[in-house]
Structure 1
Amino acid sequence: MGLIRSIFFGLISGLILFSMNLDGSEAREFLVGGKENSWRISSSPNELIEWAEKERFKIGDSLVFKYDSKVDSVLEVDEEDYKKCNKNKPIKEYHDGNTKIELNKAGPFFFISGSTGHCDKGEKLEVKVLSHKHSSIGESSPSIAPKPSPKVSSPKVLSPPVLTPAEAPKSSAAGLNFRVVDISILVIVTMVALAMV
């Protein structure tokens, strides 16, 4: 009986570690605009905004701004200064030409050019960072919501929350992640029940 329990606990531990590694927590670097020297006045005033809307930013990701430091800079500003292109009271200022900024919290980040008149001509960027609750791996393709976890008959065990379609993961890989987590929870509940016997 002891050997069976050891094997069972080993399998459970492996499954839990595997499911934890599927959470897509690896931070990524994004080159602003998707190409070198995109931090500049563009022929399309919405180019940077459109680029940012296509990307999915998570906590821990970084933005890399590449630009000519002799003529430009990057200012992190609040929303009001972003809308008004006000560069007088930045949150942070960068002048090195190769600026890397970590997105360390969920919510919006606002950046404008420090060069006079550049922001008014479209050299500005708003980035929306997803919370861990809303971010998952491979978010580029939609998927259906995961199936709810099987019900456990024990009244002492709480089942995990079921996601609504609005909170559904954004890819089939993320759906796999939730199924593995659901299986892990079911196995843990089973393991606890066996330990009580």
Structure 2
Amino acid sequence: MAAFKSSFLVVAAFCLVYQLQLSHCTEFDVGERGGWAVPPTNDTDFYDNWASKKRFKVDDTIRFKYKKDSVMEVKKGDYKECNSSRPNFFSNTGNTIYTLNRSGFFYFISGSTGHCEMGQRMIVWVVAQDGSGGTSHHASNSNTLNVSFSFGLLLVIFVFPFIFSLA
């Protein structure tokens, strides 16, 4: 009976750590401190450069903070042409949270006249999940919503001695 109890607790600990890894999502603040605004004249690639330094995964969220502006998710061609007439998504609340609900590319532009042409647009690439059910993930300057793998590993290291002392 003691061996069964010990085995059960070990399996339960592994399941807990695995679940914590899978539920790891991140929220990114677009443009960080500067928010979603027209970039300086000499930095029209500001948002694309910002996004290219991040590692986005399915179910991560991006937060657009802005004043007297809007954000649109559009098709690739509309992104290239700064065409705001057919958005897939539109918001002008000043604090928009957008969930990246699939892998692939997302294209965002400002809906304010002339802002996209001045560089207020961004391409986000969301990585696909790997075959093991986990995801490759790295996020700098972001808010972690759940526990990371490192914490799970520490949990196992400190929980195992306790589990075996119960057996």
Please give the range of the TM-score, normalised by the shorter of the 2 chains: 0.7 to 0.9
Q: Offset of 1:139 from its aligned partner?
A: 6.4
When residues 32 and 76 of structure 1 are mapped into structure 2, their CA distance, relative to the original with a 3 A threshold, is same
Distance in 2 (CA, whole Å) between partners of 1:76 and 1:19 is: 33
- Aligned-pair identity (%): 35
Give every structure 1 segment of 4 or more consecutive aligned residues whose post-TM-superposition deviation is greater than 6 Å. none
Residue 145 of structure 1: aligned partner: none
Structure 2 residue 88 is the aligned partner of structure 1 residue 82: no
1:1-197 alignment runs, 5 A limit: 2-23=1-22, 25-43=23-41, 44-69=43-68, 72-133=69-130, 135-138=135-138
- Is the contact between residue 29 and residue 35 of structure 2 (CA under 8 Å) also seen in structure 1? no
What letter matches 2:114 in structure 1?
G
When residues 139 and 40 of structure 1 are mapped into structure 2, their CA distance, relative to the original with a 3 A threshold, is closer
When residues 122 and 28 of structure 1 are mapped into structure 2, their CA distance, relative to the original with a 3 A threshold, is same
CA RMSD of aligned residues (A): 2.4
List per-residue Cα deviations over 1:22-46 (Å, max 9, x = no partner): 34x3222111112243432333000
Tell me the TM-score normalized by structure 1. 0.63
Gaps of 5+ in 2: 141-148, 157-167
What letter matches 2:57 in structure 1?
K
- Is the contact between residue 56 and residue 137 of structure 2 (CA under 8 Å) also seen in structure 1? no
- Is the contact between residue 29 and residue 62 of structure 1 (CA under 8 Å) also seen in structure 2? yes
- Is the contact between residue 36 and residue 120 of structure 2 (CA under 8 Å) also seen in structure 1? no
When residues 115 and 80 of structure 1 are mapped into structure 2, their CA distance, relative to the original with a 3 A threshold, is same
Length, aligned pairs only: 141
Distance in 2 (CA, whole Å) between partners of 1:94 and 1:59 is: 21
When residues 102 and 139 of structure 1 are mapped into structure 2, their CA distance, relative to the original with a 3 A threshold, is closer
Q: Offset of 1:137 from its aligned partner?
A: 4.7
What letter matches 2:92 in structure 1?
H
- Is the contact between residue 39 and residue 123 of structure 1 (CA under 8 Å) also seen in structure 2? yes
List per-residue Cα deviations over 1:35-78 (Å, max 9, x = no partner): 24343233300011000000111112111111112xx2111101
Q: Offset of 1:20 from its aligned partner?
A: 3.0
Secondary structure at the aligned position of 1:5 is classed as helix
List per-residue Cα deviations over 1:107-146 (Å, max 9, x = no partner): 1111111112211111101111122327335467xxxxxx
Gaps of 5+ in 1: 141-172, 181-197
- Is the contact between residue 71 and residue 90 of structure 2 (CA under 8 Å) also seen in structure 1? yes
Could you say which structure has the greater relative contact order, defined with CA pairs below 8 angstroms and 6 or more residues apart?
2
Tell me the TM-score normalized by structure 2. 0.73
- Is the contact between residue 57 and residue 137 of structure 2 (CA under 8 Å) also seen in structure 1? no
Bigger share in strand: 2
Secondary structure at the aligned position of 1:40 is classed as coil
